[in-house]
Amino acid sequence: MRIGGAERPAMARPKHHPHEQRNARLPAPRVTEAELAVVELQADRAGLSSTELVRQCVLSAKVKPRRGLADAQLLSELNRIGVNLNQIAHALNCGRTRDMHRLNHALARLEGIFNDIETHT
């Protein structure tokens, strides 16, 4: 390259450190033609290649983990206890105090579930 009459070498892009090089590959997602058109439109509007857009989206997305069977069972049990507590509270508000045993039992079950949650998280 000639600048101001003197010969100078062309400036090359600086080399990336090995841990910064993008040489690992993700599996290519399959999309419909319509989905591909949306991705390309979004990339064009953002001034990015579709590959860069997808990379940025994947790396910045918050993925909500799927609930396990234990979580579903726990929610079901908590729901049953909540229903019992609601029935007991309604009875107590109506002046029936004989349901205190049921209230204490439901509270003990609830405390046990909370303890299980604390030990498993």
Domain ranges across the chain: 29-63, 69-120
**Cα Rg of the chain (Å, integer):** 31
* CA–CA dist 7, 38 (Å, integer): 47
Six-digit token pair at 90?
Answer: 């309604």
- The β-bridge partners of 107 are none
Q: How much is the pLDDT for 4? A: 60
**Chain centroid, CA 47 distance in Å:** 27
26, 58 contact by CB (below 8 A):
yes
pTM of the predicted model as reported, rounded to 2 decimal places? 0.42
Q: What is the largest CA-CA distance in the chain?
A: 103
The band of 33, judged by pLDDT with boundaries at 50, 70 and 90, is very high
The band of 93, judged by pLDDT with boundaries at 50, 70 and 90, is confident
68, 83 contact by CB (below 8 A):
no
The band of 5, judged by pLDDT with boundaries at 50, 70 and 90, is low
71 Cβ partners below 8 Å, 6+ apart? none
- The β-bridge partners of 2 are 7
